[in-house]
Amino acid sequence: MNALLLALALASGAGASAGAPKAVRDAVLQRQIEQAIAGFHGRVGVYVRQLATGREAAVNADELFPTASMIKVPILLTLYDDVAAGRLDYDAELVYSSSRAYNDGSLISSFRDGQKIALPTLTWLTAAYSDNAAALWCQELAGGGLSVNRWLAAHGFSRTRVDSRTPGREREHKLYGWGQTTPREMAELFVGLRRRRLLPPAASDELYRVLSGAYWNSEALSQIPPWVQAASKQGAIEHSRSEALLVSAPAGDYVLSIFTKDQPDSETDYKFGNEGFQILRAVSGLVWRHFEPRSKWAPAKGWQGFFKE
């Protein structure tokens, strides 16, 4: 990272943006979210802000939650920073080894030994398909968990950390799994990327494009029109569901980060009716309708039949 970029990051801190409007609590939206999550069996964290106006709502926004696959966002930010600085070649052709196989349906784990893969393809698999074997490879290329955590600290993110395969974070790994974050910090990672404050402009734009093509789109993303662009990342592990998205809505961009934990579900309960998935859809839908009251669009009910239990 160059000295100017580091100085700007440290001066602004996570979530602070020069020229951005002062955050102001949106009482109506706050009440709607609180009503939507009332009675949930577990913990819910939400942070939402309309960027142009500063209108926001927050529930447990600074509480730590497991990231699950959402840790792939800071991993990719660190990797793209390395590319921008010339430490990694984005046109590099990598060679796959079966020792990288991850027994979870990972696409890259089906590759044969010696098969070549371009770095942009690896990052796309990490972001869009959320391929775990690809993501672990990206974590390694980015210098490992310690390097990602140093990048986060340098940019003012004090709560978000990689825990898995990171020396000294064994206790946190047992508590949170691959990584940990707060709803507010995950939202601000997306805002920083959108505003080109975390990476040089070209790297920011490239990664934003990659994060705008999610394969897993049946939860929070399903509640906004498919023709509206949204950069997003999803996460799901036992007892926890999460999603963050930055929506380029007609009335103005907004960022939304939703997390759950302590759900009384089983590791295999990833069906459409999971209570955590229901919260992701419910909160995303009400936020869209709140910021876009003139929109007549609604999710097509017939299509959801394909996702039902």
The tokens for 179 are 């990584």
The tokens for 304 are 């959801």
Do you know the residue count of the chain?
Answer: 309
Domain encompassing residue 23? 3-87+157-294+303-307
Q: 132: part of which helix (H) or strand (E)? A: helix 132-141
> What residues pair up with 231 in beta bridges, in sequence order?
246
- Closest of 152, 176, 150 to residue 163, by C-alpha: 176
Q: How many CB atoms within 10 Å of residue 213?
A: 14
* Separation between Cα atoms, residue 109 and residue 124, nearest integer Å: 15
State if pTM tops 0.85: yes
Tell me the pLDDT tens digit for each residue of 60-75: 999 999 999 999 999 9
Question: Is pLDDT above 80 for 17?
Answer: no
Give the CATH number, domain containing residue 60. 3.40.710.10
Tell me the pLDDT tens digit for each residue of 239-268: 999 999 999 999 999 999 999 999 998 766
C-alpha distances (whole Å) from 18 to each of 15, 42, 188, 195 are: 10, 37, 14, 10
Question: Is pLDDT above 60 for 287?
Answer: yes
Domain presence at residue 141: no
Domain presence at residue 102: no
163-179: average pLDDT: 98
| Secondary structure (3-state) at 247 | strand
Under a CB-based contact definition with an 8 Å cutoff, are residues 213 and 123 in contact? no
Give the list of residues 6+ apart from residue 52 with CB closer than 8 angstroms, or none: 21, 252, 253
Domain presence at residue 59: yes
* Separation between Cα atoms, residue 83 and residue 61, nearest integer Å: 32
How many structural domains are present in the chain? 1
Domain presence at residue 103: no
273-298: average pLDDT: 96
Question: Is pLDDT above 80 for 18?
Answer: no
> pLDDT class for 5, splitting at 50, 70, 90?
very low
